Homo-oligomer: A and B are copies of this chain.
Amino acid sequence: MYQSFWREMGSQADHAVPGWQSISYFSDVSNVCWFMEPEFASEVRRLHNLVGNAVASEDHFIIVGNGSTQLIQAALYALSPADAPDPISVVSEPPYYSGYPALTNFLRSPLYRWAGDAKSFQGDTYIEFVCYPNNPDGLMNEAVLNSPNGKTIHDLAYYWPQYTAITHTADHDIMLFTVSKSTGHAGTRLGWALVKDEAVAKKMTKFIELNTIGVSKDSQLRAAKILKAVSDGYEIPNPHKEHKLFDFGRQILSRRWYELREAVKDSGIFTLPDSQLAPCKFSGKMTENFPGFAWLKCEKEGADCESLLRDHKIVVRSGVLFGAGPSYARVSMLDADATFDLFVERLRTIN
C-alpha cells in the first residue's frame, strides 16, 4: 500500500552504502543495546517526539530487533523469572494477535506458556499482551489484569496517525513498534522496543545477542533514512503538502474503509466493528480509526467465515487463531491496490 508514497518521495529516502562500511558486529559499545546504530535510535526518538504517540526520552532504552516478532520473544525472555518452578502464564484479551500464542509456544520453553484469555485468568503472576489499536479488531484495548506481580507488554505497532487518533502519549514499561507498520517497509525486518527498566533492556538485548547476534546494520541505516524522510515531511516547511506519510496513509485507508463498509452492506451477511471517533493530538482534528485489518464477522448461523471467504478466493486468517469463534476472520487492509480492489469486489457478491 505504501509503495506509491515512497516512489513519489524522490531520492530523500534512498540509501547507499560502500562495500567497506558497517562491517563489524558492533555499533555502539557504550549503549546497552550495543548492536544498535546511533542514527537509527535518534530518528526513532525524533519521530516519536513529532507524533507524540509514545514517550521516547533519553531515560527510555531503545532496543532494536529483527521485527517486533523477535522483540516479542525478547520481552517474554526478559520478563520470565529464571528460577520459577513453573512457566509464567502469558495471556491476552481476545481477539488477540494470532502470533502471541504461536511465538510463546513454538519452542515449548518452560520459562513461559500461553494461557489464553486474560479475562478468565486466575492468579497474580503473568505476562499480559496489550495491543492498541488492537490487531485484529482495531479497538483501543487496555490491560485487563492488574497485579503487582503481573507484567505487561504493550504492542503499539499500529499506534500511528494513519490508523487511529493519537489520544495520548503512551508511557508503558515495554512498548513495541515496527518499521513494517509505521512506514510500510516490512522487508527491512526492523522493529524497536521502548523500555523503562534497565535490567529488562539488558535481558532483551541478551536474547537478541543469543538469537541472532544483533540486527542487520544495513536495515538500521536504511530505516534511519526512511524515518528521517517521514519526520522531514512534517518538520521542513513544504508548501505543496507533499511527502506527508501519515496523511497519505489516512487518505488511502479512509477510501478503503469506505469501500469495505459499502461492500459489507451490499453483501448483507457480514458485520465489522463500529468505527471509533476521537480527538487526535497529532492532527488536532476529530479522527476516525482506520485499522490495518478488517475483522469480519459472518452473521449467518453456524458459519465458518474463513471457509466461506476462501471459497470466494479471499485469503483470510480464521478468527479461531485469534481466540474468537469461527464466525470471525481477519483480512489485511494494507495490501497492494489491485489486491484490495479484488477483495472488496469478491466480498460484495457473497450472500
Contacts and interface: CB of A to CB of B under 8 A. Distances in A.
Contact of A216 (B4, B106, B218): B218
Contact of A109 (B7, B17, B108): B108
A238 interface: no
Contact of A19 (B12, B69, B213, B214): B12
Contact of A189 (B2, B103, B216): B216
Interface stretch (A222-230, A273-281, A287-295): A222-230
Contacts of A108: 109-111
Interface in A204-250: 207, 210-219, 222, 225-226, 229
A66 interface: yes
Contacts of A70: 211-212
B210 A189 contact: no
A324 to B, nearest CB: 21
Given A189-B212, A212-B70, A16 B19 contact: no
B188 A216 contact: yes
B102 A210 contact: yes
> How many copies make up the complex?
2
A300 B105 CA distance: 49
Name, among A13, A15, A67, A187, the residue most crowded by chain B CB atoms within 10 Å (CB to CB). Answer: A187
Interface string A100-124: 0011001111110000000000000
Nearest to A335: B24
Interface residues of A, number: 59
B229 A19 contact: yes
A176 B60 CA distance: 37
A128 to B, nearest CB: 21
A190 interface: yes
Contacts of A4: 20
Given A16-B15, A77-B107, A212 B67 contact: yes
A312 to B, nearest CB: 21
A223 to B, nearest CB: 9
Contacts of A210: 69, 102-103, 106
A17 B19 contact: no
Contacts of A66: 66, 211-212, 215-216
B20 A3 contact: yes
- Report the 9 A-B pairs with minimum CB-CB distance, sorted nearest first: A13-B19, A6-B20, A216-B216, A187-B217, A16-B16, A66-B212, A218-B218, A22-B187, A216-B219
